[in-house]
A and B are shown apart, each in its own frame.
Chain A
Amino acid sequence: MKEAALLKRKEGLARSWVRFRKNPLSMAGLTFLALITLAAILAPWIAPYPQDASLGVHFDKALSPPSREHLFGTDEAGRDILSRLLFGARISLMLAVIVLGISFSIGVPLGIIAGYYGGAVDEIIMRVTDVFSSIPALVMAMAVCVLLRPSLENSMIAIALVWWRSFCRLAYGETLSLKQEDFVTVSRSLGSSSPYIMFREILPNMTSSLLVKLTLDAGYAILVGTSISYLGAGASPPTPEWGIMVAEGRHSLPGSWWASLFPGLAIFLTVLSFNLLGDGLRDFFDVKVE
């Protein structure tokens, strides 16, 4: 009888998906992100004027308002904003993936090691983290960028260098509480090696908080990335990066409002979607909410 009941209960992922579906905001976030990702992947094929994303310039059409030919209008070099936005999505999403990938790979192992061993190891790692934490992300990233010569790649490195600290903190905190759990004691008493305990016993139990953090941070990382480019320390023209697009369009405000508005809206909606998705994921993992 227990088996029949087990069958009726949707297990694990299926169950969580049903719960997730019920939250309209998270679904909206997920949908929008799915669309953006799709758009980014298919950009070369669906962009109406793909050449505008790089070198195409048409000064005769500069700053024309939204119309049937150019749904979002054109910028000061006559390039189709919609096409540039689509290519810009690629850049921003790629930035999020690379930045988070690097900082995750640095921060999480360091945090787990610090939390597990304690003592001097803990102190050294966490104090270094503290140093990195004392400077706001944007400021530090800017500084690094400027030092290294402003470019899109360097801005990604800069942000990653700054971002790992919060992953470190999160992994550290989770490790501290997880290492008290009985199953860790059991593992140790059976003779497991420390790396096994850290990465095969403890780490799998923090995946939910890491996933939520990754999602929320993706939005914020994109924000920082576009801000750096906006300030001129990141991508440089003619790259169709959303941040520079906003910066370039700034000169034409408020008359040609579309040049800054649409890139800005793209940033806003993308970051918002990541936030909504992240919130939804947090609820999705929180069994007590049920």
Chain B
Amino acid sequence: MARSEINLKELLLRARDITVHFHTLDGTLQVLNRAGLDLFQGEVVGIVGETGSGKSVMAKLILGILPIPPGKVVSGQILFREKDLLRMPPRDRQSFKEKVAYIPQDPTTSLNPVFPVGTFLVDAIIWKQCRQSLFRYLASRRFGPARRQASRLAAGLLDKVHIPDPESMLRRYPLQLSGGMRQRVLLAAALIGKPELLVADEPTTALDVTIQKRILQLIQEKVREEKLSSLYITHDLGVARSLCDRIYVMYAGTVMESGPAGAMLEKPLHPYTLGLIQSIPKLTGERFDGIPGQVPDYLYLPRGCRFNPRCHLKMEKCTLEEPRMTEVEPDRWVSCHRVQKNP
């Protein structure tokens, strides 16, 4: 089903023309350059890029946790159900935050080692329930029926992520758990309060590959069950392929290409995507090469297309003018002067 057939009512998140600058001692870093993405209900959208591509900045901006200053949103809008996140009044922001869940990258540092897993979950549950009232939170935090009920809910959540013996797990400390277990706990925490949007920032990077597979399956399962939409950030194309419906490939703060995962990885259109795929050693044993050159320093960006110094298809136009994202095939968007729409 091509995207153009879906009516806009199902569009959950739309980011358009996001340009973010970071003011540092050395100068202004243009970390995001007219980036944009769409997220439809029920989809898993992957943001794929190497280090420094701007994918985390994008995610943090959507979550509202990007430090501003030194960051500054120069232009763009992020529409969540047609309300602009960047210009929302605080109260609306609050209600948005309740609908979003976040799974961080490193499970080890994301759980406070001093508290048992149960305390962490119960606390989060109660806080979500008492969202407007600090007093109510303080009152119900330690004792009372609210706490008992929250404990039961917590055990239920742990069960949902297939943790064996949830009751005893509540009493255990994060350091007693393996990486995979911790990530499941974080996933359980993300499911509190029935979120609509799940933002996952490379949650399996630190895990072993067999554990990663299990966690990816778990995420897929929960996204389906809980009818979530998910934004999944990763640098691993293989993971993106297995998990995501659509992918956005970012380089130097710009979205270079986007499209359905399978189609894009089988037949990439942008030279960077092609180069990236070619850089990865494959089980087919075919030749793999790196991409010549280096990721540009944000302080000294090339003129025109940010990828041009490293591109084997470079034309003169590429060094002068930045290309715009165009839909060259149904649902395949590319930011490249070379790749044009088929007439």
Contact = CB atoms under 8 A, between A and B. Distances in A.
Is there a contact between chains A and B in the complex with CB atoms less than 8 Å apart?
yes
Interface of A: 1-2, 4-6, 8-10, 15, 18-19, 290
Given A1-B302, A1-B309, A15 B25 contact: yes
A2 B297 contact: yes
Contact of A290 (B24, B296, B302, B309): B24
A8 B25 contact: no
Contact of A5 (B24, B25, B300): B300
B26 interface: yes
Contact of A9 (B26, B294, B302, B309): B26
Interface string B304-320: 00000100000000000
26 contacts: A1-B296, A1-B297, A1-B300, A1-B302, A1-B309, A2-B294, A2-B297, A4-B300, A5-B297, A5-B299, A5-B300, A6-B297, A8-B26, A8-B27, A8-B299, A8-B300, A9-B26, A9-B299, A10-B25, A10-B26, A15-B25, A15-B26, A18-B25, A19-B25, A290-B24, A290-B25
Nearest to B297: A5
Contacts of A15: 25-26
Given A1-B302, A2-B294, 9 more contacts: A4-B300, A5-B299, A5-B300, A6-B297, A8-B27, A10-B26, A15-B25, A18-B25, A290-B24
Contacts of B26: 8-10, 15
B138 to A, nearest CB: 32
7 smallest A-B Cβ distances: which pairs?
A5-B297, A5-B300, A9-B26, A5-B299, A4-B300, A8-B299, A18-B25
Interface residues of B, number: 11
Give the dominant DSSP class at B's interface.
loop
Contacts of B297: 1-2, 5-6
A6 B297 CA distance: 9
Contacts of A2: 294, 297
A255 to B, nearest CB: 54
Contacts of A8: 26-27, 299-300
A180 to B, nearest CB: 16
A168 to B, nearest CB: 29
Contacts of B27: 8
Contacts of A5: 297, 299-300
Nearest to B293: A1
Contacts of A4: 300
Interface in B10-29: 24-27
A6 B302 CA distance: 15
Nearest to A8: B299
A6 B27 CA distance: 12
B176 to A, nearest CB: 22
Nearest to A6: B297
A63 to B, nearest CB: 53
A290 B300 CA distance: 20
Contacts of A1: 296-297, 300, 302, 309
A5 B26 CA distance: 10
A5 B24 CA distance: 14
Interface string B238-277: 0000000000000000000000000000000000000000
